[in-house]
Amino acid sequence: MKQLIVLAWIVLAWILCGASVNPRADPEVVPPTPDDHFIRGYVTAVLEQVLKVPSIQVEVERGVVILRGDLPGEERQELLDAVSRIHGVARVEYIPLATGGAVPEGQAQEEFNRAFHGFFPKDDLFTPLPADPWESRFFLSFRHSEASGGNFGTVGLGEVFGLYRWKDVFGPGHHLQINIEGAAFGYFDLDQSQTDLQNIDFQLGLPVVYRYEDFSTRLRLLHRSAHLGDEYMARHPEIVTQNRLTDYQVDNNLFDAVFSYKPDWWRIYGGFAYLFDVMPERDPWEMVYGIELAPWDQYAIHPVLGVHFHLQEEFDWDLNHRYVFGVEIHDWPFRNRVTRLLGEYYHGKRLEWPFFREEDEYIGVGLYFDM
C-alpha cells in the first residue's frame, strides 16, 4: 500500500507541477524571452492594428506561432515575414482554412498540437484506447464479479509523458514521437473488513508513436510485474506453506504494436504483442483489436462506446472481451485531459496478472482520465 501512495504522489506531481526552464540571460546582452501569452497578444495586435487582418486565428506554444486563416499567397508571405521578426518567435506555421469554412474547436486544437516540434510535447500522437484495461492512465473503478460474487475496487495511477516530437520527419504531415510511460494498478477486495489489497501490478514502458493524418501506430517495449498484497497472503497462507508463491509472481517483458485508423467519429485498431523473459512460463504471442464510437465528438461532452478484444496463444486464442460505454468530457476538470464516466462489462481471463489463468466476468462503473 505504501508503494501505491508513493507512486500516486510522484505521478500527481508530474501532472500538476509542469516546470518550464528558462536559461538565465545576461540583461546587458540578451533581452529576456517573452512568454507565450505575451507573444500571442503582440502578434494579435500586429495582425489587427498594423496588417489589418483580424480574421487570423493565433496560437502560441513554446515560442512557435500557429496561424490559421484564408489568405492568398502574397499576403500570406507578408504575414509570415512580419510575425517571424517579432522578438521571442521561434518559428511560424500557417494552417490554411477552407474558404468560408470554420474549423471545430477540438479539431483546430488537435492540428495545433500536432504542429509542435521539440522536447516535452503536451499531448500524444496516439490517442489512448478507452476500452483497453491496461492503458497507463488514472482511473477509479468499482466492479462486481459474476464469477466470484465479490465486489472489488480498482485504482490506476499512470501516465504517458512525451519526451520529444519530430514534426514532418518523413515529409509533410508525418510526425514521430518518443514517450515514457508508467502505471500501477491496485486491486482491492471491498468485501473484506479492511478493504484488503489483493495485488498490485506495475508496468513501465518506452513507446514510439508515428502519425500521418488519420493513421497512427504505437510501438512499445514494456516491463510488467505483479505482487500479491500482504493482506491477501495472510488470508491464504497455503501460498507460502505449499511453496506456490512463484505461481503468482508475474515478471515479464513484451514488445507490442497497435495500428489505428480514425477518420471521423469512429475508430478501428488492431495489433499484436510478443512476450519474452517471462515468469511463469507461457506461450508468447497475443493479439488485440477493437472499435470505438464517439458520435458528436465536436462537442465538449458526447457519448462514447468502446469494444476491446484480446486473444492469447497460451489459451488457444480464446476471446477475452471488454465493453465500455458512457460519457466523454474534454478539458474538464483538467485542461488537455479527457474525462470519461463509463459503464463496463468484461468476460475472459482475469485482468489481475497474478491470476491470469482464472476465468472472470464482471460489471462495473469507472471514472477515467486520459490525455
Mean pLDDT, residues 201-223 taken together: 96
Q: Are residues 327 and 290 in the same domain?
A: yes
Could you tell me if residue 15 is inside a domain? no
Q: Are residues 48 and 172 in the same domain?
A: no
Q: Are residues 311 and 341 in the same domain?
A: yes
Could you tell me if residue 114 is inside a domain? no
| Chain centroid to CA 132 | 11
Three cell numbers, residue 47? 495582425
Q: Are residues 170 and 271 in the same domain?
A: yes
Whole-number pLDDT of residue 144: 95
Q: Are residues 81 and 189 in the same domain?
A: no
Could you tell me if residue 165 is inside a domain? yes
Whole-number pLDDT of residue 90: 84
Distance between CA 162 and CA 207 in Å, rounded?
9
* Domain of residue 207, residue span: 121-370
Distance between CA 144 and CA 162 in Å, rounded?
35
Distance between CA 210 and CA 258 in Å, rounded?
11
Could you tell me if residue 229 is inside a domain? yes
Could you tell me if residue 28 is inside a domain? no
Domain stops at, among 75, 103, 131: 103
Distance between CA 107 and CA 87 in Å, rounded?
29
Q: Are residues 96 and 206 in the same domain?
A: no
Could you tell me if residue 360 is inside a domain? yes
For 81-97, the pLDDT digits (tens) are: 888 888 888 888 887 76
Cis amide bond preceding 207, omega within 30 = no
Owner of C-alpha cell 518567435 = 89
Could you tell me if residue 115 is inside a domain? no
Q: What is the mean pLDDT of the chain?
A: 83
For 267-297, the pLDDT digits (tens) are: 999 999 999 999 888 999 999 999 999 999 8
On whether the CB atoms of residues 135 and 128 are closer than 8 A, the answer is: yes
Domains of the chain: total? 2
Domain of residue 99, CATH code = 3.30.70.1770
Q: Does the predicted model carry a pTM greater than 0.75? A: no
Could you tell me if residue 66 is inside a domain? yes
For 105-152, the pLDDT digits (tens) are: 455 556 556 667 889 888 889 999 999 999 999 999 999 998 777 899
Domain stops at, among 103, 131, 157: 103
Q: Are residues 226 and 284 in the same domain?
A: yes
Q: Give every strand in the sheet of 57-61, ordered side by side.
A: 57-61, 64-69, 91-96
Q: Pairing state of beta strands 174-189 and 151-166? A: antiparallel
Q: Are residues 83 and 221 in the same domain?
A: no
Whole-number pLDDT of residue 316: 95
Domain of residue 252, CATH code = 2.40.230.10
Q: Are residues 251 and 333 in the same domain?
A: yes
Q: Are residues 311 and 239 in the same domain?
A: yes
Domain stops at, among 46, 77, 103: 103
Distance between CA 122 and CA 311 in Å, rounded?
33
Whole-number pLDDT of residue 365: 97
Q: Are residues 93 and 149 in the same domain?
A: no
Burial of 208 from C-beta contacts in 10 A (0-12 / 13-18 / 19+): middle
On whether the CB atoms of residues 305 and 292 are closer than 8 A, the answer is: yes
Q: Are residues 76 and 154 in the same domain?
A: no
